[in-house]
Amino acid sequence: MRLPSPAARSYSILNEFPPARKNLVTPWFVTILVGGVALSGYGGFILYQTLTMWPPEVRGDLRDAVRAKHEGDYRKSEQYFHRAWNTIRTLPIESLGSQPYLKLTGMALAFADVLELSKKQQRAYEVYVHALELLQQDDVKAMLTGPERLRAVAISSKLGELAKDLKKHKTEEEKWRVWAVEELLRIVKSPSKDDAGENVDYSHQGSFNLPLLALPSWISKTDIGAPLEALGSFYAEAGRLDFAMPLYLQAISLLIPPAPKKSTPEDRCRGAQLMGNLSEMIMRRPPSPDTLHQAEAWASQALAVTKKARAESSKPIDPCEEVYAAALFNLATFRNMAGDRNVARNLYRDGLEQARSIGLSEGVVEASRALHRLDMGESEPGQK
Ligand SMILES: *[C@@H]1O[C@H](CO)[C@@H](O)[C@H](O)[C@H]1NC(C)=O
């Protein structure tokens, strides 16, 4: 990829800053610029602009690595990244500027991403392990900022995923997932010095990106609920509902924090979805009036949360629309089991309509069947 000529560069948003102020652009701001501009295909330009944010020792390799990656030559890219990664670890950490561990591990992530692209999952796994170990060193831990600690959570979560893909022993996957959750809870309980006392929005801190390296998308999805959800579903799949349930509860309380804290409609809908999962999990217990009551309470809460989140936003948000359809259906089923047919019918109808409007064919089929059975006067044969 050739660098655009100076003339071609002149319209870039980066150039809207007078030259003297360019250095004031924070990494956070650059994230947005890199994200937006890289998407429009000006990777080469960004490369040129931001290369200077890296120590001179790695610039050459980094530039060649990113260029080879853009050209789809992963083998070559891997070689350059490998060398840059080896080099950067020999440099004094101060040479990496502010939040140096974001840069250091960012290099590892970019390297591992190329390894994954060339289907070298095991090698990528080792690089991720190494990156995480760097963050877990005793003398390093105390100096990490919030985003750097969240980076560690993200890497550990990624390792959990890869351990599963690589079919490693279950305890290996569990180890990474547990560490991610524990660290996340430590961060929530005692944020780092730099953000102590403030109402830090961690859901956005995880997306810290780096000058030059557009990091893989999984890293930007890091947020507060995900590691808990992942560990919860790991235990649920393993049949350990006793471990899974408290994790779901924790995740719900983080996604839907008590007032006056607020969260986005998206997060609240994710919380509502977890309430649905919880309700389903409770129904797997031996049946009793008490389990039924609890399960319905969660289903009903899920519906209320989703309704409110939808009402507050002017356009449809992912995952609210699907969660809403499921919540209507679930609550309808509970009402039907209780013999409350009129309410059940109305909920099924709303659910059917919602499933139709978002093209959820499975939902349409299920709700139509349920309505049909209801109108035939049969009772619900089982629970969903
Ligand atoms: C919750 O349930 C939904 C729908 O059944 C499923 O897609 C999702 O993976 C579940 N989430 C967890 C964390 O178990």
Q: Is residue 1 part of a domain?
A: no
What is the mean predicted confidence (pLDDT) over 249-269? 85
Structure tokens at 373: 């059975």
Predicted confidence at residue 184, as pLDDT, reads 81
Predicted confidence at residue 148, as pLDDT, reads 87
What is the spatial distance between Cα 85 and Cα 130, in angstroms, rounded to a whole number? Answer: 11
Domain of 121, in residue numbers: 33-243
Q: Which of 347, 265, 349 shows the shortest CA–CA distance to 312?
A: 265
The residue whose C-alpha atom lies closest to atom 12 belonging to ligand 1 is: 233
Residue 262 shares a structural domain with residue 361? yes
Residue 228 shares a structural domain with residue 344? no
How far does residue 121's CA lie from ligand 1's centre (Å)? 26
Residue 159 shares a structural domain with residue 304? no
Predicted confidence at residue 34, as pLDDT, reads 35
Contact 18/52 with Cβ under 8 angstroms? no
* Domains held by the chain: number: 2
* pLDDT of 165 above 50: yes
Q: Which helix (H) or strand (E) holds 230?
A: helix 226-237
- Ranking 90-99, 203-212, 317-326, 345-354 by mean pLDDT, the lowest is 203-212
Task: Map tokens 């995880």 to a residue.
Answer: 206
Residue 144 shares a structural domain with residue 292? no
Q: Can you tell me which atom of ligand 1 is nearest the CA of 273?
A: 1
What is the spatial distance between Cα 309 and Cα 271, in angstroms, rounded to a whole number? Answer: 11
What is the mean predicted confidence (pLDDT) over 105-122? 94
| Global model pTM greater than 0.75 | no
319-354 as b/e: b if 16+ CB within 10 A = ebbbbbbbbbbbbbbbbbbeeeeeebbebbebbbeb
Q: Is residue 136 part of a domain?
A: yes
Residue 168 shares a structural domain with residue 42? yes
Residue 328 shares a structural domain with residue 372? yes
* pLDDT of 26 above 60: no
Q: Is residue 24 part of a domain?
A: no
Give the model confidence (pLDDT) of 278-320 as tens digits: 999 999 988 899 999 999 999 999 999 999 999 998 899 889 9
Q: Is residue 5 part of a domain?
A: no
220, 243, 266 - which closes a domain = 243
Residue 230 shares a structural domain with residue 334? no
- Ranking 14-18, 69-73, 120-124, 343-347 by mean pLDDT, the lowest is 14-18
Predicted confidence at residue 190, as pLDDT, reads 64
* pLDDT of 152 above 70: yes
Q: Is residue 186 part of a domain?
A: yes
Q: Is residue 132 part of a domain?
A: yes
Residue 50 shares a structural domain with residue 159? yes
Q: How many residues does the chain have?
A: 384
Predicted confidence at residue 48, as pLDDT, reads 56
In this structure, the residues whose C-beta lies within 6 A of any atom of ligand 1 are 229, 232-233, 236, 273, 277
How far does residue 23's CA lie from ligand 1's centre (Å)? 44
How far does residue 226's CA lie from ligand 1's centre (Å)? 12
CATH number (domain holding residue 158): 1.25.40
179, 208, 243 - which closes a domain = 243
Residue 95 shares a structural domain with residue 147? yes
What is the spatial distance between Cα 65 and Cα 69, in angstroms, rounded to a whole number? Answer: 6
The residue whose C-alpha atom lies closest to atom 10 belonging to ligand 1 is: 277
How far does residue 232's CA lie from ligand 1's centre (Å)? 10
How far does residue 223's CA lie from ligand 1's centre (Å)? 17
* pLDDT of 329 above 90: yes
How far does residue 274's CA lie from ligand 1's centre (Å)? 7
Residue 221 shares a structural domain with residue 314? no
Q: Is residue 74 part of a domain?
A: yes
Residue 197 shares a structural domain with residue 277? no
How far does residue 134's CA lie from ligand 1's centre (Å)? 33
Q: Is residue 251 part of a domain?
A: no
What is the spatial distance between Cα 269 and Cα 303, in angstroms, rounded to a whole number? Answer: 9
What is the mean predicted confidence (pLDDT) over 180-184? 88
Pocket test for ligand 1, best of 161, 250, 275, 277 (most atoms within 8 A of CB): 277
Per-residue pLDDT band at 12 (split at 50, 70, 90): very low
- Ranking 48-52, 79-83, 147-151, 165-169 by mean pLDDT, the lowest is 48-52
Per-residue pLDDT band at 29 (split at 50, 70, 90): very low
Residue 57 shares a structural domain with residue 99? yes
What is the spatial distance between Cα 31 and Cα 38, in angstroms, rounded to a whole number? Answer: 10
Q: Can you tell me which atom of ligand 1 is nearest the CA of 232?
A: 13
* pLDDT of 3 above 60: no
The residue whose C-alpha atom lies closest to atom 9 belonging to ligand 1 is: 233
Predicted confidence at residue 146, as pLDDT, reads 80
142 backbone dihedrals φ, ψ, rounded to 5° = -70, -25
Pocket test for ligand 1, best of 164, 233, 322 (most atoms within 8 A of CB): 233
Predicted confidence at residue 283, as pLDDT, reads 93
Name, in order, each residue with C-beta under 8 angstroms of 367's C-beta and a sequence gap of 6 or more. Answer: 329, 332, 348, 349, 351, 352, 355
What is the mean predicted confidence (pLDDT) over 347-376? 95
What is the spatial distance between Cα 283 and Cα 292, in angstroms, rounded to a whole number? Answer: 7
Per-residue pLDDT band at 192 (split at 50, 70, 90): low
Q: Can you tell me which atom of ligand 1 is nearest the CA of 236?
A: 14
215, 243, 271 - which closes a domain = 243
Per-residue pLDDT band at 361 (split at 50, 70, 90): very high
How far does residue 190's CA lie from ligand 1's centre (Å)? 29
